[in-house]
Chains A and B, each alone.
Chain A
Amino acid sequence: MVVPAALRRALEEHARAELPNEACGLLAFRDGVAERYIPARNAAASPYRFELETEPENWFLEDDGYELAVFHSHVSSAPRPSRTDVENIGLWQGRPYLILSLGTGELAAWQIADGEISPLELS
């Protein structure tokens, strides 16, 4: 998976803008390369978890050939799924799951399925 520098900056800007809460959004990938970032609203408004809210039409991007990944920020902790992230995986089970740590500036990608966390290669 590739997230170009411009989109990484967009993720960081959104994450900082949402402080002290976690930011969240959708990344639209085509052939493994992120082409768009759609910032969403964190309905939980919490520094510990997120509930992604976005316009309904964004869910239909997959019909246009995109693969959707969910993104959220960690206010300070490492870019690794927390216990809460795993518990709340919901419909993102088995799908790309990206986390940015504002503590370290690192962006990481994962897949969470049946309570197991697997890293995805990200560049």
Chain B
Amino acid sequence: MTRAATAASLLDLVGNTPLVELPRLSPKPEVKLYAKLEGQNPTGSIKDRVALAMTEAAELEPGAELLEPTSGNTGISLALVARLKGYRLTCVMPENVTEERRRLLRLYGAEIVESPGEEGSNGAVRVAQELAEREPRYQMLFQYANEANPAAHYEGTGAEIAEALDRVDVLVAGLGTGGTLMGAGARLREAFPEIVIAAAEPLPGDPVMGLRSLEDGYVPPILDVSKLDRKVLVSNAEAVVSLRELLHEEASSPESPPARSSTSPGSSPPSSTRAWWSPS
């Protein structure tokens, strides 16, 4: 889908992100891999879809005060939407979040409330819920339980993929709130009933901003685990190595294709940390 030459607002540029084929990463010619470039949303993440959908569903009045537990991307997205629509935003996040994230949020005009670092994002959820109960002026859209979250992916992410491709056998998405997997998964399963929906989770205990392992405790209300066909556990090391492989393979000159990663010692992800789960 092409975009218009100009947009009246940054919010008009949310979604309709490109799909790019990754031919060099494909293990076999008949297997086609595609990446959906959600970094091309206005704030650089898929959460722009969710922030816009949640605020539109809430039909907020100008001046509304929003509160959200967020590790960063959702806060940044909500901060943009809040600034453009005239709302105020307070983000609750662990005290050990990077300074870069804090600066970006403050740049967009958001306030920050800290939660205990050792409790991670679970602690941010707890503190936000307590604050919302104590202070009725706050409206917590709460991405973890807000149906507008998966709906944004049903209507957007999933619909865009279904429109672009004649066939999809597997969808792999990171598991954070579960919105992408539930919403895009549902839309793609309607178009391609045999599709496998696979969740990529960090290894328990391996901290990855914005993603979670269900083993670490909190299961988002919008997540229905029975709708997942596979779970892939990914270590931090694998994520870094795979990113390097992606850049090395897909971001090099076509005149001088790179050596295959299997010939480079130490560049293959340690297979012992991969884990596959499927329901019996």
Contact = CB atoms under 8 A, between A and B. Distances in A.
Interface of A: 20, 46-48, 75-78, 82-84, 101, 103-104, 106
Contacts of B147: 20, 47, 75-77
Contacts of A47: 147, 150-151
B155 to A, nearest CB: 5
A48 B155 contact: yes
B144 to A, nearest CB: 14
Interface size on B, as a range, is 10 to 19
B128 interface: no
Contacts of B183: 48
A29 B146 CA distance: 34
A77 B146 contact: no
Contacts, number: 44
Contacts of A104: 57-59
Contacts of A106: 59
Interface string B153-197: 011100100000000000000000000000100110000000000
Contacts of A75: 147, 151
B148 interface: yes
Given A48-B151, A103-B58, 15 more contacts: A20-B147, A48-B154, A48-B183, A48-B186, A48-B187, A76-B57, A77-B53, A77-B57, A77-B147, A78-B56, A83-B156, A84-B154, A84-B155, A103-B59, A103-B148
B155 A83 contact: yes
Interface string B134-157: 000000000000111011001110
Nearest to B146: A76
Nearest to B153: A48
B148 A77 contact: yes
A81 B279 CA distance: 36
Contacts of A20: 147
Contacts of A103: 57-59, 148
A41 to B, nearest CB: 18
A3 to B, nearest CB: 20
Contacts of B151: 47-48, 75-77, 82
A76 B155 CA distance: 13
5 contacts: A76-B57, A82-B155, A83-B159, A84-B155, A103-B57
Contacts of B146: 76
Contacts of B148: 76-77, 103
A106 B79 CA distance: 27
Of the listed residues B57, B159, B183, B187, the one surrounded by the most CB atoms of chain A closer than 10 A to its CB is B57
Contacts of B57: 76-78, 101, 103-104
Contacts of B150: 47
Contacts of B159: 83-84
Of the listed residues A47, A77, A82, A106, the one surrounded by the most CB atoms of chain B closer than 10 A to its CB is A77
